[in-house]
Structure 1
Amino acid sequence: MSLAISKSYGKQFIAGVWKDGSSGKTYQDLNPYNNEVVATFILGNETDVDEAYSAAKEAQKAWKETSVEAKKQVLMRAAELLEQRKDEVAAIMIKETGSSMAKAQIEIKNSAGIIRAAAQYPELMTNPRVNPSVIPGKENLIYHVPVGVIGVISPFNFPLVLSMRSVAPAIATGNAVVLKPDIQTAVSGGLVIAEIFEEAGLPKGVLNVLTVDIADIGDYFIAHPVPKVISFTGSTAVGRHVGEVASRNLKRVSLELGGNSPFVVLEDADLEKALSAALFGKFFHQGQICMITNRIFVHRSLYDQFVSSFVERAQKIPYGDPSVDPNVFIGPIINEKQMQKVLNVIEAGKTEARLVLEGQRIGNVLTPFVFADAKNDSTLAQTEIFGPVATIIPFDTEEEALALANDTPYGLSASVFTSDLERGIEFARHIESGMAHVNDQTINDDPNAPFGGEKASGLGRFNGEWIFEEFTTRKWVSVQREYRDFPF
């Protein structure tokens, strides 16, 4: 089966079978740049959710007992296949998601890295930790065991990597998965992954992918009795609801939600390096990233020069159709609803701050807008914009900058630029966020570092030992190696 867009991409993948959904409702998956049809789906409904979870529950029984080596072979083969077919996958992502070529390549590389990191988990499942006991002659063995079935809900903006970071670790730790990608990017965020793992030899039913409209299934995916963990990436508003529904059903959740990431330029920063990082951190993938640089705070001694140089460079960023020009950095906004949301924020911003660069709408593409002299309590500064709109705010002291950076309900990512690395580390430690970066922009991920947020930006952590803990549970087995006296 080729990864070129094909008939399989109008299907769901349940119990190892490519099949139409049961709703009879048709959905057209559109290229956000020109609205051409990428794939047409007959969507699923609650019947398909039941079938997928039932298949996952049954398949997991054998998969959890599969040997360490067999699990590792499937995972390593999946990583190899993804890399071998990177050009095909990138072409799909560009057409379906509006991704630039650079962004598609980064996403594929990171996804392969996630799979390879997860390939180390099966061995960790077999080695118990041994703890001493207060009871003479007793030995405590603590095992990590699979939770069973994990339901994964992933978003449109980084569909491949934000699905894979849950799917691969869940499979590696002996669980089965039902994945519901955003319907707008169901190929990149789900069906590509299903096909890769199918060819890698993953047993049928261990991974299932649904193409469903939330309007047809409501909370059924979350409230269903089979999954023990729900992994959700998306907006804070929806994440709160996911958490509420899951908690009523005593399910664990892993929630990676919205952000309002600050980018702080202290007075001793290298201005050229800070500018380059800020431009990338603000405009990468049209600003449609949870970790995107949303507020840029610049010390007043550097402020005027920073603003003028930022505007000059922003005007030169290539934009257009990423499927035609591989140098395009700013592509289309995902849909008209999101476009209107961004335009509304821009209109509000014109009454709140100084518009120093007025972009334009060209079809579904929005070129950079830059606002200066904004207040931190403005609509511009307090909205997760998800578009190519930069907000620059001056400050006078380091203490003020820290207070401004923390003055948000969110706490996902942050960054600070300074020539004094120790000062930068100390500043970063005091930002109320799950991640903070010194002399770098805010969009960072690493399979060897905990990824996640504080406050309204989520619960739990992805990557490495942290996702290993999220997707397993602990089993205490005690062994009484010396006879224990009882009073009866």
Structure 2
Amino acid sequence: MTTITTTFTQWSNQYIGGEWRKGQSHSVNSNQNPFDHSELVKIQLASVEDIDAAYQSAAKVQKDWQKTSPEKRSAILKKAAEVLENRRDEIVQILVTESGSSFAKANAEVDFSIADINEFAGLPFQMETEVVSSVIPGKENRVYHLPVGVVGVISPFNFPLYLSMRAIAPALAAGNGVVVKPDLQTFISGGLIIASILEEAGLPKGLFNVIVADISEVGDSFVEHPIPKVISFTGSTSVGKHISELCGKNLKKVALELGGNNVMIVLEDADIHQAASAAVFGKFLHQGQICMALNRIIVHRNIYDEFVKVFKAKTEMIKSGNPADPEVFVGPLISKKQIDKVQAWIDDSIREGAICIQRGNVKGTLMEPVILTNVSNDMAIARNEQFAPVAAIIPAESEEDAIAIANESEYGLSGSIFTGDLEHSVEVALQIHTGMIHVNDQSVNCESNVPFGGEKSSGLGRYGGHWSLEEFTTTRWVSVQKENRPFPF
């Protein structure tokens, strides 16, 4: 199948101050299809001056947006969800072509985004004023939940639409202005298409802005600018730590969803076929380029060989290739650089004693599934977040050993447990140091009304439901003295 590229020429402008215009940088970025490396569109990048203009615009319009009724804010968000559904085919095509998504993954990303927008459309009605008792006679204590003002959002390449919308929608719902800086590799699906959707939905012009910029030119200006009071970042742990340091220095609030080294623990009494099916899906969805993807599959020694056999048979059913083919499940990685890094980790792990029972071909950025057995936690393929279609299967001598292996990681984002004893599995789940974990399911789960986030080096804060409201609002105590209070002067 051929990739459609003719529709991408419209995405050559920044979206600043409610206008589609050229960036002021002298640099130009070429947006490319990660599968065949064909050029989709060129965009003149944004400068530090553009970042300032975007934040100034968001701050100016936000003052009126904050005063807009909850009913109107909610209605605009619901309209945005409707627009997103109406433009599904266009957006799926963009995700397939720009990010290398399979059709299944791209449609799921649209579904997740619609669900989030509809969930967050209810947030304006949750910003109620609380009245708290006082020890002082005649005093009424009021607690207000207010927008912070302007939120800066930095989003990644892997789920660009959803991971941008996950922060944009609740921030807008709470009455904030937003400036988003999407990943350069996916600036359409991570930013510009969202601007188009919100514009069609009737969002006030200038409230939402998209900055497509190169970090080598603009540096830390997006984070350090004095206007945004909250920075929401989804990406690598190393960059997240740097952003956290900048926010701490500038006394900004930060919401971070960072890397993962997620486990599936398969206990001795698990349904092997069901566990293997779940593991194949949770490992190879979007080529493993998901923060929640399975990085380590920990299997009880007594069922290890049988699990490996079934897992390999199910992996062989996967079709790899051009994601423009609807039957393809594993498409390209985002860059050749990522391929080279993971290949080195595979080779290092094999030298360290891992056994490669399946090593698919590599052509350009397309990497077919790899299966490594006899893996241990100290091997490169198990220590690092792969973001690649490489299954590392680790034997565990006991349940206690599996728990110890799972927790021997700096990360703690997601995970899963397979067992025949559901109540016992919850006891095991509570012993895993992670923000999210799923019983008899794989690790890639996303629902709009539950808290999404990690522990340790996997991040700070939570997205989803009212937890998002907490991230993008501030609390203000206003006391009202209704009768004269005696003073000693």
TM-score, length basis structure 2: 0.97
**Residue 9 of structure 2 contacts residue 40 of structure 2 at CA under 8 Å; is this kept in 1?**
no
Counterpart check, 1:364 vs 2:379: no
Cα offset for 1:4?
Answer: 8.3
Question: Counterpart of 2:231 in 1: which secondary structure?
Answer: strand
Cα offset for 1:73?
Answer: 1.3
Equivalent residue for 1:327?
327
The counterpart of 2:103, out of the listed 80, 94, 101, is 101
Equivalent residue for 1:468?
469
Question: Counterpart of 1:461 in 2: which secondary structure?
Answer: coil
Q: Structure 1, residues 424-445: CA drift from partner, whole Å, max 9, x if none? A: 1111111000001100100111
Q: Distance in 2 between matches of 1:128 and 1:487?
A: 32
Identity of aligned residues (%): 52
Q: Distance in 2 between matches of 1:280 and 1:141?
A: 49
Q: Distance in 2 between matches of 1:412 and 1:253?
A: 17
Equivalent residue for 2:75?
73
Q: Distance in 2 between matches of 1:145 and 1:5?
A: 40
Out of 129-138 and 78-87, give the one that drifted further: 129-138
Question: Counterpart of 2:476 in 1: which secondary structure?
Answer: strand
Q: Structure 1, residues 344-392: CA drift from partner, whole Å, max 9, x if none? A: 1121122120111111103321001100011111111101011000100
Cα offset for 1:6?
Answer: 4.4
Cα offset for 1:137?
Answer: 2.5
Q: Which AA in structure 1 matches 2:488?
A: P
Counterpart check, 1:136 vs 2:137: yes
Q: Distance in 1 between matches of 2:17 and 2:6?
A: 22
Q: Distance in 1 between matches of 2:239 and 2:225?
A: 17
Question: Counterpart of 2:175 in 1: which secondary structure?
Answer: coil
Equivalent residue for 2:30?
28
Count of residues paired in the alignment: 484
Question: Counterpart of 1:290 in 2: which secondary structure?
Answer: coil
Equivalent residue for 1:5?
7
Question: Counterpart of 1:477 in 2: which secondary structure?
Answer: strand
Equivalent residue for 1:451?
452
Q: Distance in 1 between matches of 2:416 and 2:135?
A: 46
Q: Which AA in structure 2 matches 1:327?
A: E
Equivalent residue for 2:296?
295
Cα offset for 1:136?
Answer: 2.2
Equivalent residue for 1:409?
410
Structure 2 gap ranges (5+): none
Q: Distance in 2 between matches of 1:298 and 1:16?
A: 53
**Residue 336 of structure 2 contacts residue 364 of structure 2 at CA under 8 Å; is this kept in 1?**
no
Cα offset for 1:447?
Answer: 0.9
Q: Which AA in structure 2 matches 1:331?
A: G
Q: Which AA in structure 2 matches 1:345?
A: W
Q: Structure 1, residues 174-228: CA drift from partner, whole Å, max 9, x if none? A: 0000000001000000011000000100001110001111111011101111110
Question: Counterpart of 1:350 in 2: which secondary structure?
Answer: helix
**Residue 8 of structure 1 contacts residue 18 of structure 1 at CA under 8 Å; is this kept in 2?**
no
Question: Counterpart of 2:467 in 1: which secondary structure?
Answer: helix
Equivalent residue for 2:42?
40
Q: Distance in 2 between matches of 1:360 and 1:310?
A: 19
CA RMSD of aligned residues (A): 1.2
Q: Structure 1, residues 65-94: CA drift from partner, whole Å, max 9, x if none? A: 111111111100000000111111000100
Cα offset for 1:20?
Answer: 1.0
Out of 22-31 and 135-144, give the one that drifted further: 135-144
Q: Distance in 1 between matches of 2:47 and 2:367?
A: 35
Out of 310-319 and 406-415, give the one that drifted further: 310-319
Kindly report which structure 2 residues correspond to 1:98-177, keeping only aligned pairs within 5 A, or say none. Answer: 98-125=100-127, 127-177=128-178
Q: Which AA in structure 1 matches 2:338?
A: Q
**Residue 148 of structure 1 contacts residue 228 of structure 1 at CA under 8 Å; is this kept in 2?**
yes
Q: Distance in 2 between matches of 1:321 and 1:130?
A: 58
**Residue 4 of structure 1 contacts residue 88 of structure 1 at CA under 8 Å; is this kept in 2?**
no
Equivalent residue for 1:426?
427
Cα offset for 1:8?
Answer: 3.5
Question: Counterpart of 2:154 in 1: which secondary structure?
Answer: strand
Q: Which AA in structure 2 matches 1:133?
A: S
Q: Distance in 2 between matches of 1:356 and 1:317?
A: 16
Equivalent residue for 1:339?
339
Q: Distance in 2 between matches of 1:236 and 1:422?
A: 33
Q: Which AA in structure 2 matches 1:72?
A: S
**Residue 8 of structure 2 contacts residue 40 of structure 2 at CA under 8 Å; is this kept in 1?**
no
Equivalent residue for 2:256?
255
Structure 1 gap ranges (5+): none
Cα offset for 1:232?
Answer: 0.3
Equivalent residue for 1:277?
278
Counterpart check, 1:14 vs 2:27: no
Q: Distance in 2 between matches of 1:442 and 1:169?
A: 24
Q: Distance in 2 between matches of 1:243 and 1:233?
A: 12
Q: Distance in 1 between matches of 2:386 and 2:52?
A: 36
Counterpart check, 1:318 vs 2:319: yes
Q: Structure 1, residues 2-22: CA drift from partner, whole Å, max 9, x if none? A: x98344411100011001111
Equivalent residue for 1:61?
63
Question: Counterpart of 1:110 in 2: which secondary structure?
Answer: helix
Q: Distance in 2 between matches of 1:284 and 1:13?
A: 32
Q: Which AA in structure 2 matches 1:176?
A: G
**Residue 116 of structure 2 contacts residue 448 of structure 2 at CA under 8 Å; is this kept in 1?**
yes
**Residue 4 of structure 1 contacts residue 92 of structure 1 at CA under 8 Å; is this kept in 2?**
no
Cα offset for 1:304?
Answer: 0.3
Cα offset for 1:32?
Answer: 0.3
Question: Counterpart of 2:233 in 1: which secondary structure?
Answer: strand
Q: Which AA in structure 2 matches 1:231?
A: S
Out of 305-314 and 190-199, give the one that drifted further: 305-314
**Residue 29 of structure 1 contacts residue 185 of structure 1 at CA under 8 Å; is this kept in 2?**
yes
